[in-house]
Amino acid sequence: MGKGFYKVPVAVNEPVKTYAPGSAERAAVAKTYTQMYNSTIDVPMYINGKDIATQDTATMSPPHDHKHILGTYHRADKKHIQEAIATALEARKMWSQMPWEQRAAIFLRAAELIAGPYRARINAATMLAQSKTVHQAEIDASCELIDFLRFNVQYMTEMYAEQPASTSDVWNRLEYRPLEGFIYAITPFNFTAIAANLPASAAMMGNVVVWKPSDSQIFSAKIVLDVFKEAGVPPGVIQMVMGDPEMITDTVLDSPDFSGLHFTGSTFIFKELWKKIGLNIHNYKTYPRIVGETGGKDFIVAHKSSNPQQVATAITRGAFEFQGQKCSAASRVYVSKSIWAATEKHLKAQMETFTIGSPGDMSNYITAVIHEGIF
């Protein structure tokens, strides 16, 4: 085992590709999109390094072409969730003891895989699964995810470096340990980057994770899982399960070894999860950590000194990109009365240029919402 004070690469933001007409990246993602659209895939669960198929399956379709079948995924019953928990706890014995720099190396490799050979695949999968335009897919599934992985490695080393003061008489040392049990990661449909980051950030710190992606995002979650596997995440460290959310959640939260929740989704669901955890508190071996992000209403405030055309652009991009399906989407605008007339003129002109349709046509600005239930 190596000895040393290791310095990880300084994290920098991944440059966003333009996907301009005629560019190599545009051609690559268009080709991959077509190949994925015209193929069908089978997505089993992933438990202890094995693909787990069941008789209970469901289909995956693009929101913008909901009659077209992209493939099927396999749904768990209770025994599969119990197996995922048990084998994750077994994997924890090794993973929690692995030197931090070896864990860091795995996730830095994942970032490089996405930046390189997986970039077109993860973008095209996000366009198909979530109806994101190529630009929205690029800033989410590629750039933001790459940044999550690289910056999380840097933040991990900064955390470990935070040590209490010592004197010539006393050497104070602080050790950061993984949680005693397993983490439950519940991820949303709207960001492939979040779907990857919630299990990855916990695993990076030496924890093991049972990950339930959104039913509406499984097509692109499969690409995330492929990246984790190729990067070298050991079996049992990140388990991907799909199925009835209530059954999965109840089985997970009934386990005495449940030690943490990593969640992004609706406020109502988060409150329900918190309530269930509270009701089970006497059954747990430790106090579970609860981390949740539930979004809200974003807003724009424009001072009278603002440029009206820039304000209009902020409104159109903030409110209508990805059909407004993100917590950062602009829902309210407060504009100084003195610049409203000019802002409104630019706003109407920009909105008249909107085109709506499939993300496969990269000239479209707006595509489909995720499913009928969103209305």
Q: Where are the domains of the chain?
A: 29-163+177-293, 298-374
Tens digits of residue pLDDT in 77-136: 999 999 999 999 999 999 999 999 999 999 999 999 999 999 999 999 999 999 999 999
- Confirm if 51 and 59 have CB atoms less than 8 A apart: no
Question: Which residue, 144, 245, 276, is CA-closest to 198?
Answer: 144
Question: Which residue, 248, 252, 217, is CA-closest to 77?
Answer: 248
Count other Cβ atoms within 10 Å, centred on residue 97: 9
**pTM to 2 decimal places:** 0.95
Structure tokens at 49: 């390094």
Is 298-374 the same fold as 29-163+177-293? no
pLDDT at 146 over 80: yes
Range 192-212 average pLDDT: 98
Give the CATH fold of the 29-163+177-293 domain.
Answer: Aldehyde Dehydrogenase; Chain A, domain 1 (3.40.605)
- Confirm if 198 and 211 have CB atoms less than 8 A apart: yes
Integer CA distances (angstroms), 236 to 35, 260, 363, in order:
31, 17, 42
Tens digits of residue pLDDT in 298-313: 899 999 999 999 999 9
Specify the pLDDT at position 75.
Answer: 98
Q: Which residues are catalytic?
A: 293, 327
Query: d(Cα 43, Cα 71) in Å, to the nearest integer?
Result: 8
Cβ contacts of 310 within 8 Å, gap of 6 or more: none
| pLDDT band of 295, cuts 50, 70, 90 | confident
- Confirm if 211 and 239 have CB atoms less than 8 A apart: yes
pLDDT at 375 over 70: no
Integer CA distances (angstroms), 330 to 127, 266, 323, in order:
22, 17, 11
CATH class of 298-374: alpha beta
